[in-house]
Amino acid sequence: MADSTPTPAPTAPVQETEIAQPQSRRRGIIIVVVLVLVLVAVAVWWRSTFSEDTDDAQINGHLIQVSSRIAGQVIKLDVEENQFVKAGDTIAELDPRTLTWQLRTRRRRWPTRRPTPLRPT
């Protein structure tokens, strides 16, 4: 006599697969991380360039460069430390001897020439 119990049909093996994130999402995350790093680097550079401070609380201030249009030795300082000044205010007076010497030297090198009048031919 034949066995009457049904045999189960063969089933496909269950495979576990990882769900991969879309490529655009990974790219977006990388771009955000890079942007954050760049912003942090710019903030650190900005802080270190335009202010000076120390760990012992002796100095904490903003640095502003001031220079003259000509070189020379300062003979008089017209402002006090931490004094507020406006654009165009005189800050210091320079020794005029340096400028006078430079002017004399240049005049000796390039004498003034007067144009010759045109003569009709």
Q: For the residues 78-91, what does the mean pLDDT come to?
A: 86
| Predicted structure pTM score | 0.34
Percent above pLDDT 90 for the chain? 12
Q: How high is the pLDDT of residue 42?
A: 93
CA distances from 119 to 69, 112, 115, 116 (A): 44, 21, 12, 9
Q: How high is the pLDDT of residue 32?
A: 95
Query: Which of 69 and 85 is assigned the larger pLDDT?
Result: 85
Q: Which residues of 37-59 are buried (b: 16+ CB within 10 A; e: fewer)?
A: eeeeeeeeeeeeeeeeeeeeeee
Q: How high is the pLDDT of residue 113?
A: 63
Q: How do residues 4-14 score in pLDDT, each as one tens digit?
A: 666 666 666 66
Q: How high is the pLDDT of residue 16?
A: 66
Angstrom distance (rounded) from CA 52 to CA 62: 7
